[in-house]
Amino acid sequence: MIRHGASGQLLVPRKPALPVSWVRSTPLKIIDAVAIDSENYRKGVFDPAESARWKFELGFNVEHFSLAVKAYERLRGLKEVLEDYLRETHKRGLRVFVYLNVHWADVSQLKAHPDWFQVDYSGKVIDDVYGRGLMPCVNSPGWRESSYSLMEEVAELGPDGIFLDGPVFHVRGCYCRWCKGAFEERYRIEPPRKGELADPRHPQLVGFQKESLASYMRGAYEVVKRVNPEVAVYMNGQPPGPAWATGRDNEILSRYQDLVGAEGGFEYYNLFETPVFKPGLTAKLLEAQAPEKPRVVFIAANHRPWCREVLTPAELLNRCAQALANGAFYWIGITWWSGKLAEAVRRANSWVDAAGDLLVGTRDASSVAIYWSQSTCDYYGGEVPVSDFTGETKRVARDYLKSVYGAYEMLLRLGIPFKLATSPRQLDGVEVLIVPNAAYLSDEETEGLGDFVEKGGVLVASFETGLYGPEGLRGNFALADLFGADYVRSHYYGTYENYMTAWGEWYPATARLLEVKPSTAEPLGYYSVNTGGWYQPVELSSMPSLLRNAYGKGLVFYFTGNFFKTYHAYRFSSYLNLLRRVLGERCRSPVELEGSSSYVEAELRAKGGKLLLHLVNHTSALSRPMLELVPVHLKVRVKGGYRVESIVGRAAKVEARSGATELELTLGDYALFALEA
Ligand SMILES: [Zn+2]
């Protein structure tokens, strides 16, 4: 993948260091109660023994700890209590990451440090972070030095780790004198306005910001390791989505961290607008980006942005289960405590205790993958979901993320375990690769995908996949040979009553489609002529809807329309049948679920000689937040003969039947089975 667009300025990271030993070997159950501890400290009622006892009794073994939400309050309080506090936590086996905020400062700081903070395109200091506040710039030498010396002092206090909240770029920054100077010196051009993705200079700006954060993080990592190499370091990473707004590149940044994490369980406003699988998606993406590092999904135990609106137990359990099922651990951020969540928190922690080492150092064992194209996110366009750092959802006309969401949900609903791949180099063991509208493909990616199919892989792509590259619009698909078709033109059908066919069946048409000219591909169906209305006569055109092309030993299916995004928009059940038929042409999933009314995620992971079957129940009563999870009766068929051990939950029946192992169970929230041949 072209990480920095056309900039040509690639960072060459060192070989990643192994994570510090305790992080590598511990099943992490992390609590963050910084807001509560800080408030108690401010009121003069913080009690180290009491705070440590409470976290331990809830079942946690690691925490993010601070007594100051802002880094600028320095170490006054921390120094006063940390020694006592670490004695209390270590007595109970509770590891402590000191939390340092490196992305927000009070506006009063501007007077003392006029050149530490991010500036917008017009040259004005950005002072509305979280409503009111400043965001430091990693390229400001003064701030960089000051934050490094803070980390050094903290490392000397003897914590188990340091967690950096931030660093990030603001969605409107940064055009401070340091950033402008460095950018202009490197590229000999003025920086473009951030967010104008069509500006040909924009990839350079994104590349520059990603490099700036990586350079800052490398420095931070080195500062801490110089004091004590056993102090673990990590930061608040990029959740799935465009990274141009914040400049965080998890893959590069992971080199300078012992573990990686992102806010996969922070969900805002109308929860129906956030896919229920966001925590699982985040875990899968972190795994693809940093396979060698332990991964953490940050879950806010509240309905964002309302810190006092506590999450329902069903939501919390579902999010924790997703993290575990997808090879990550969870971090639970508690900003308000009423005791209502105590039972759910203990329950999630009991899952980790039951599984223990089985959750450490696992790898994905599925044979289906969805291709994640960060370049498409960053250069082609897409919605930037709301977060603390962006403050609001940024909507742009093109939306790659919705295509990924569609493919992701379809696989979940079909009960097929899968992983994400961010590069063709990650396709070992993958039989079917779904490429949902990855518009931007580099030449290297194109070649890699060709190899994959050549050797027998099945590729399922849609819409504008490969129509763009480092130079912009390509004029034809990068994968034209694989698709067995050439690009002709694009059509917008609108939301009228239109249809497409495949294998003789009718399906609602996608709103957008590409007209193509098949060369070697066989059309499996066609679009109707645009009816321009409802109840109009339906007549088929000669524009194919779905192509099938044999290539090398492999097979390619190409949906000419935005199939996955359309599924995300309307959830047509017929689309599920169509995708099931496409996937079934060559491959059979190693896991099959039976349970018609359920929405259950099945994930398959491996540790040593054991296969780990995770089942996560997403079945709720059409409500988000989920008020409760509806228990579902389920039959799961796993290809092969296995001895089954129940780790979390219990199978009512296990049977060997025609080359498969069948489990029957009632699934409440989460279950985990270890399978041994
Ligand atoms: Zn700057």
Domains of the chain: 368-584 (3.40.50.880), 591-676 (2.60.220.10)
Say how many Å lie between the CA of residue 181 and the centre of ligand 1: 9
The yes-or-no verdict on residue 228 having pLDDT over 80 is yes
Say how many Å lie between the CA of residue 234 and the centre of ligand 1: 22
pLDDT band at 192; cut points 50, 70, 90: very high
Query: CA angle, 25 as apex, 21 and 29 as ends, to 5°?
Result: 115
pLDDT for the residue numbered 79:
83
Say how many Å lie between the CA of residue 257 and the centre of ligand 1: 23
Say how many Å lie between the CA of residue 116 and the centre of ligand 1: 8
Say how many Å lie between the CA of residue 14 and the centre of ligand 1: 25
Distance CA 500, CA 524 (A): 10
Say how many Å lie between the CA of residue 225 and the centre of ligand 1: 26
pLDDT for the residue numbered 472:
84
pLDDT digits (tens, 9 = 90+) for 108-126: 999 999 999 999 999 999 9
Say how many Å lie between the CA of residue 470 and the centre of ligand 1: 26
Say how many Å lie between the CA of residue 495 and the centre of ligand 1: 44
User: Phi and psi (nearest 5°) for 297?
Assistant: -100, 120
Average pLDDT over residues 504-527: 97
The yes-or-no verdict on residue 6 having pLDDT over 60 is no
Say how many Å lie between the CA of residue 304 and the centre of ligand 1: 28
Say how many Å lie between the CA of residue 211 and the centre of ligand 1: 13
Say how many Å lie between the CA of residue 381 and the centre of ligand 1: 23
Distance CA 540, CA 504 (A): 12
The yes-or-no verdict on residue 654 having pLDDT over 60 is yes
Say how many Å lie between the CA of residue 593 and the centre of ligand 1: 51
Out of 338-347, 388-397, 577-586, least confident range: 388-397
DSSP conformation class of 128: B
pLDDT band at 604; cut points 50, 70, 90: very high
Say how many Å lie between the CA of residue 516 and the centre of ligand 1: 45
Residue 346: exposure state from Cβ atoms within 10 A (0-12, 13-18, ≥19): middle
pLDDT for the residue numbered 399:
83
Say how many Å lie between the CA of residue 8 and the centre of ligand 1: 21
The yes-or-no verdict on residue 14 having pLDDT over 60 is no
pLDDT band at 62; cut points 50, 70, 90: very high
The yes-or-no verdict on residue 397 having pLDDT over 80 is no
The yes-or-no verdict on residue 263 having pLDDT over 70 is yes
Average pLDDT over residues 419-433: 97
The yes-or-no verdict on residue 19 having pLDDT over 90 is no
Say how many Å lie between the CA of residue 247 and the centre of ligand 1: 12
Say how many Å lie between the CA of residue 137 and the centre of ligand 1: 5
The answer to whether 345 and 408 are in contact (CB under 8 A) is no
Say how many Å lie between the CA of residue 286 and the centre of ligand 1: 27
Out of 9-13, 263-267, 379-383, 562-566, least confident range: 9-13
pLDDT for the residue numbered 11:
44
Say how many Å lie between the CA of residue 138 and the centre of ligand 1: 7
Question: What is the b/e burial string over 635-644, where b = at least 16 CB atoms within 10 angstroms of the residue's CB?
Answer: ebbbeeebeb
pLDDT band at 389; cut points 50, 70, 90: low
Say how many Å lie between the CA of residue 117 and the centre of ligand 1: 7
**AA identity, residue 299:** I
pLDDT for the residue numbered 477:
98
Say how many Å lie between the CA of residue 143 and the centre of ligand 1: 10
Average pLDDT over residues 428-442: 96
Say how many Å lie between the CA of residue 120 and the centre of ligand 1: 9
Say how many Å lie between the CA of residue 123 and the centre of ligand 1: 11
Going edge to edge, which strands form the sheet with 368-371?
419-421, 368-371, 432-435, 458-462, 554-559, 540-551, 522-528, 499-502, 505-508
Say how many Å lie between the CA of residue 217 and the centre of ligand 1: 15
Out of 199-203, 367-371, 413-417, 423-427, least confident range: 199-203
Say how many Å lie between the CA of residue 212 and the centre of ligand 1: 9
Say how many Å lie between the CA of residue 182 and the centre of ligand 1: 9
Say how many Å lie between the CA of residue 192 and the centre of ligand 1: 14
Say how many Å lie between the CA of residue 139 and the centre of ligand 1: 5
3-class state of residue 262 by DSSP: strand
Mean pLDDT across the chain, nearest whole number? 93
The yes-or-no verdict on residue 296 having pLDDT over 80 is yes
| Residue 294: both structure tokens together | 């332990």
Closest CA to 66 of 76, 56, 58: 76
The yes-or-no verdict on residue 361 having pLDDT over 90 is yes
Out of 22-36, 369-383, 475-489, 654-668, least confident range: 369-383
Say how many Å lie between the CA of residue 246 and the centre of ligand 1: 12
Say how many Å lie between the CA of residue 5 and the centre of ligand 1: 20
Out of 13-22, 413-422, 515-524, least confident range: 13-22
More confidently predicted of 1 and 588:
588
The yes-or-no verdict on residue 504 having pLDDT over 50 is yes
Say how many Å lie between the CA of residue 149 and the centre of ligand 1: 20
Say how many Å lie between the CA of residue 178 and the centre of ligand 1: 6
Say how many Å lie between the CA of residue 119 and the centre of ligand 1: 7
This prediction has a pTM of 0.94
Say how many Å lie between the CA of residue 565 and the centre of ligand 1: 36
The yes-or-no verdict on residue 2 having pLDDT over 60 is no
pLDDT band at 381; cut points 50, 70, 90: low
The yes-or-no verdict on residue 8 having pLDDT over 50 is no
User: Phi and psi (nearest 5°) for 269?
Assistant: 50, -125
* Centroid of chain to Cα 348: 21
Give every CB contact of residue 270 below 8 A, 6+ residues apart in sequence: none
Say how many Å lie between the CA of residue 393 and the centre of ligand 1: 23
